[in-house]
Amino acid sequence: MNNENSVIDGMQFSNGRWLASNISPSRHSHDNGSSLKPGSGDGGGGDMLEARVARLESDVEHIKASMSDMKADLKSVTGDVSSMKTDVAVIMQKLDGISSVLSKVPTDDKLNVKFEMINTKISEVKSEVTLQEAKTESKIKDARLHIILWILGLPSLAFALYHAYLLL
């Protein structure tokens, strides 16, 4: 129903409530009832009956139209709610999938243990490389020494053999 104000028989209907502030005090006085006699013109008699009935019928039609609008709105809201239910169900399934994936993700403790293992292996490999480097350096030094000995020794040996040949 719209926020219309309706006045029926001196009573005002506004915002879902009947207000009696507009009622004349003569209708509620304790006189002999002469003000409520037909034809007195205060709305209590038969001279206004047809107008009142017509107004009530139009109000009933207005109420019927409002009710049909409300029913249509209710159907729309019901459809929206059912689609929201399916949307929420889909979202819940997705959240369940996400939570199952997240449950498989290792925790910080597991990751820290794995990083420590990797760090340990890297340290071991580094120490092995350092050891191999030292061995290679010693082999290179030995090879240099042998080369130097051959470079110096071979001409000396040849010179000695040459002198021995000359002496013979």
First-to-last C-alpha distance (Å) of the chain:
142
Q: Across residues 18-27, what is the average pLDDT?
A: 48
Residues 52, 132 within the same domain = no
Residues 87 and 137: their CA atoms lie apart, in Å, by: 71
Residues forming beta bridges with residue 11, ordered by sequence position: 8
Residues 136, 148 within the same domain = yes
For residue range 108-147, list pLDDT tens digits in order: 888 899 999 999 999 999 999 999 999 999 999 999 999 9
For residue range 68-78, list pLDDT tens digits in order: 999 999 999 99
Domain extent at residue 36 = 6-104
Alpha helices, DSSP H, located in 26-107:
49-104
List the 6-8 sheet strands across, edge first: 6-8, 11-14, 17-19
Query: Please, which residues have CB within 8 angstroms of residue 56's CB and are 6 or more apart in sequence?
Result: 8
* Number of domains the chain is built from: 2
Residue 100 included in any domain? yes
Residues 51, 128 within the same domain = no
Residue 72 included in any domain? yes
Query: Please, which residues have CB within 8 angstroms of residue 89's CB and are 6 or more apart in sequence?
Result: none
End position of a domain, from candidates 82, 104, 126 = 104
Q: What is the pTM of this model?
A: 0.36
End position of a domain, from candidates 104, 129, 158 = 104
Residues 86, 112 within the same domain = no
Residue 78 included in any domain? yes
Query: Please, which residues have CB within 8 angstroms of residue 34's CB and are 6 or more apart in sequence?
Result: 40
